[in-house]
Structure 1
């Protein structure tokens, strides 16, 4: 019982400390996830320092169980708002929310840098910017500043096709060949038609029209062409 009690206290204390620290400190990860990784790492490393591998493993098992319990509890909407922080509005209809910035401890210059990373240079063009519970910032521009969509122009576009890798780093991806109901003989014939060898292929993908695209290890020489300028002294 002492092991369970001590592990539970450490888990709760760590969670509260991370909540007080704020979403910015745990950006891209939920508080539970960060705490779980941090505590579990320390528990597992304990046998390296002291000779108590059994007790360390017991703590680790209890930590995993606690993590699973809290994650399951977070699936319930009523408990979710208690366990996780709510999203914080940083910009609304082009106006920067000072209270929101103060709550997440973010200066204006940092907010502007996040907007630039998202591709926006003016806060007045933003309909809403929110720091999510994971610490990531979501930005939605005003309607007149968002990218034009095909639907806006009544243009019907075909379904997006994802090229399927068949050779990667000179190695045949057999499970993709099986998925496409093709065999190695077909692949080798296509490679030979293009005068290539598998050992010299960096990437070969199966295209929508049933052909093979090959990118080998060779890089075309565009020396002197300003459209292919390579920064640095090795250009």
Structure 2
């Protein structure tokens, strides 16, 4: 084996593995159920095999076949009748403020682990929980009782408008022209907005983020921290103040 094989073999395996994972879809690399995890583990074993026995074609073909099988199973899980045969059902851990001991044994978690999970969700007592379930991805979802859930605007007869997602126009000193074009804005508008906030257009490099807000104006964050000295709201832990 010449030295070039040590270079191009890993590159080929890496690119092929990336393509197979992209082919498999986002679900395969997000929160995984048992079948998703099996796919990742086996695929990793298959594509790493050529580094040992130098059989790149056979490993890639096995990887492709296994990926196709994974995609087939993923499609089958979209069928409601087949889904529950292929994917485990959620396990109830708490129901109406009462711990389901059978559910804990089935999920193989202790009462202490359950309480820790509830604390992570912001709940100190089981009595505040309407239902807690372990989902098929292994995470615990919690539905609090009505009196323990966060207050909603509708509880106060308030009906706020639609949420507005700020649109970045300048990021790390660079103008995001695709967002400017989407909003039908030009550089002259940007210059006026920057001038209104006492920022020169030739100082774009000082801007970490400038976003278009619901009022049609810019919210600007710069890397200039002048004027922050001795401001209690700008305190930083440590000895660098």
User: How far apart are 1:192 and its partner, in Å?
Assistant: 3.4
TM normalised by structure 1 equals 0.82
Task: Show structure 2 runs of 5+ residues with no match.
Answer: 1-29
Of 143, 152, 155, the match for 1:152: 155
Residue in structure 2 matched with residue 208 of structure 1 by the alignment: 214
Contact kept? 2:170, 2:176, Cα under 8 Å: yes
Of 161, 164, 176, the match for 2:164: 161
Contact kept? 1:191, 1:198, Cα under 8 Å: no
- Once superposed, what is the RMSD of the aligned Cα atoms? 1.9
* Alignment partners' CA distance in 2, 1:59 and 1:188: 57
User: How far apart are 1:234 and its partner, in Å?
Assistant: 4.5
- How far does the alpha carbon of each residue in 1:110-152 deviate from its partner, in whole angstroms, 9 at most, with x for none? 1111111111111111111011111111111111111111112
User: How far apart are 1:189 and its partner, in Å?
Assistant: 3.2
Residue in structure 2 matched with residue 188 of structure 1 by the alignment: 191
Of 138, 143, 152, the match for 1:140: 143
Of 193, 205, 228, the match for 1:221: 228
User: How far apart are 1:185 and its partner, in Å?
Assistant: 3.1
User: How far apart are 1:188 and its partner, in Å?
Assistant: 3.1
User: How far apart are 1:108 and its partner, in Å?
Assistant: 1.4
Secondary structure at the residue paired with 2:49?
A: helix
Comparing 149-158 and 118-127, the one that deviates more: 149-158
- How far does the alpha carbon of each residue in 1:71-126 deviate from its partner, in whole angstroms, 9 at most, with x for none? 01111111100101010011111111111111111111211111111111111111
* Alignment partners' CA distance in 2, 1:142 and 1:181: 46
Of 93, 97, 107, the match for 1:94: 97
User: How far apart are 1:169 and its partner, in Å?
Assistant: 1.8
TM normalised by structure 2 equals 0.80
Secondary structure at the residue paired with 2:147?
A: helix
Contact kept? 2:228, 2:234, Cα under 8 Å: no
Task: Show structure 1 runs of 5+ residues with no match.
Answer: 1-26
Secondary structure at the residue paired with 2:93?
A: strand
* Alignment partners' CA distance in 2, 1:96 and 1:232: 44
1:222 to 1:140, Cα distance in 2 relative to 1, 3 A: farther
User: How far apart are 1:195 and its partner, in Å?
Assistant: 2.9
* Alignment partners' CA distance in 1, 2:180 and 2:198: 21
User: How far apart are 1:186 and its partner, in Å?
Assistant: 2.1
Comparing 86-95 and 109-118, the one that deviates more: 109-118
